Amino acid sequence: DAKTTQPTSMDCAEGRAANLPCNHSTISGNEYVYWYRQIHSQGPQYIIHGLKNNETNEMASLIITEDRKSSTLILPHATLRDTAVYYCIVRGRLGNQFYFGTGTSLTVIP
């Protein structure tokens, strides 16, 4: 599976959009981009995933660049409960496991 690069930490004001970037320049055509988050020491929570089209669900939006070498997770109106570590993971169709890197520690500030 392709490697991902994320900023170590970010801050976001409560109520504003949080935009979390991820670089995956070695992604191959059949690999999906997944986003998970981990609040404190809880189990990782699935947020969203996509292949090449932008995706939106009740939690977030995922914007994938046309060349698929990077993506951005958008939390449209961040709340204090969105403070967490966010993981961008690239996973191939035949992969069984997820490789979690160090992620981005997002702090939502009141």
For residue 43, state whether it binds other proteins (rule: CB under 8 A): yes
- C-alpha–C-alpha distance, residues 103 and 21, integer Å: 10
> Contact region for other proteins (CB under 8 A) — 4-12, 15-23, 37-45, 54-62?
37-45
For residue 61, state whether it binds other proteins (rule: CB under 8 A): no
Residue in 7, 21, 23, 38 binding other proteins, rule: CB under 8 A: 38
Q: What is the b/e burial string over 86-107, where b = at least 16 CB atoms within 10 angstroms of the residue's CB?
A: bbbbbbeeeeeeeeeeebbbbe
| Chain residues that interact with other proteins, rule: CB under 8 A | 32, 34, 38, 41-46, 49, 87, 93-94, 96-102
